[in-house]
Amino acid sequence: MNPFYVVAFLSIFFAILVISAKNPVHSILYLILTFFTFTIHYILLNAQFLAVVNFIVYMGAILVLFLYTLMLINLNEDSEPAKSNFVKIAAVIGGGCFLVTIVASIKALGQSNPVLMKNPDLGLVKNLGKVLFNEYLLPFEIASILLLSAMVGAVLLATKDKDPKAA
């Protein structure tokens, strides 16, 4: 049994639990598990750099941010009234339409080639660093500006409503 299918099953299982868990804290914990299975996918694809970045940035930074925001927000579980059944069915059908389209087009496509490792050290830090700092140097620098503006925006938004009271 190929490990891909086991990990893929776990990914789908935890992803479903993320959107079906009643308590938002449980959702976040399941999301951490989902991202962990994605890290395993990256390792299986020998994309070591992305595996490490996914582990540190997503599981380390982003989900801690989610958890802290949830702690800032006083959550009581009955604060989220369930949507009506009609809306739920419509949502599942709406999401399923995309899936059906993709599956049907894949079926029409027929058997595809297996994912072969053409270049074994493709996803290694050395190789990706060379590509990143030669071909994609400008986008890399722009990404730093994006992060800076996001930081400024987050600080500005999160501290905003103290100013009117002070003024």
Which tokens in the block code for residue 78? 């009955």
Residue 118 or residue 166: which is nearer to other proteins going by CB? 118
Give the contact letters, 85-124, x = binds to other proteins (CB under 8 A), - = no. Answer: --xx-xxx-xxx-xx--xx--x--x-xxxxxxxxxx-xx-
Binder to other proteins among 108, 157, 166, 167 (CB under 8 A)? 157
Closest CA to 59 of 71, 70, 49, 51: 51
Instruction: Please give the size of the binding site for other proteins, defined by CB under 8 A.
Output: 90
Shortest distance, CB of residue 77 to other proteins, whole angstroms? 10
Please report, as residue ranges, which positions from 27 to 66 form the binding site for other proteins (by CB under 8 A).
27-28, 31, 34-35, 38, 41-50, 53-54, 57-58, 61-62, 65-66
Return phi, psi of residue 143, to 5°. -60, -35
Contacts of 7 (CB under 8 A, 6+ apart): 37, 40, 41, 44
Shortest distance, CB of residue 166 to other proteins, whole angstroms? 15
CB 34 within 8 A of CB 21: no
Binder to other proteins among 6, 55, 78, 83 (CB under 8 A)? 83
Phi-psi domain of 42 (left: phi exceeds 0; alpha: psi -120 through 50; beta: other): alpha
Shortest distance, CB of residue 74 to other proteins, whole angstroms? 8
Which tokens in the block code for residue 36? 């962990």
